[in-house]
Each structure stands twice: as C-alpha cells, then as structure tokens.
Amino acid sequence: MTTMNISLPDEMKAFVEAQMAQDGYASASEYLRALIRDDQKRWARQQLEAKLLEGVQGPSTVMTREDWDTIEQEALEGLAGEAFRP
C-alpha cells in the first residue's frame, strides 16, 4: 500500500474526525478509502449508464440464437472468474 499525505483545513479535519467517531472508522485513512470506493462505484455506474444509453439510442439489430449463446457463455465465464466481494 502506498502512503499519500494530504492537507486539510481545520474544519475538514474536524469533520473527518466526527465521521470517524459516528460511523466507527478506525482511522482517517479507512474513512477516506471508503469515500474513494464509493466514488469509484459512482463513476462506474455513470459509465455503465452512459453505455446503456448509447446502446438504446444506437441502431437496433435482430439478435440471433448464436448472439444469445455467446452472451450467455461470456456471462458464465465472468461469473466463474469472480471471487465473492462484500
């Protein structure tokens, strides 16, 4: 793990400390990692929504049985390769 030092105004430092106490974070680093993970999820969701919108607005094509079989196979391979993540 890499270390990163940040500077915060006193008000922000107090806010982080209050959130740590309120939400049970063991350290400021743990709290900030949680914020970053939430932001990463938000960004990924925005990217997915943009791709879905692009797909909906794009030209339509008729799906063949082969297309569905390929999609199913890729999904099953993806599920088989993923570990459980809480």
pLDDT tens, residue by residue, 68-77: 999 999 999 8
For residue 78, the model assigns a pLDDT of: 86
- pLDDT tens per residue, range 5-61: 999 999 999 999 999 999 999 999 999 999 999 999 999 999 999 999 988 897 888
Phi-psi sector, 4: left (phi>0), alpha (psi -120 to 50), beta: beta
d(CA 29, CA 8): 13
Angle between helices 28-57 and 10-23 (to 10 degrees): 90
Q: Enter the DSSP assignment of 41.
A: H
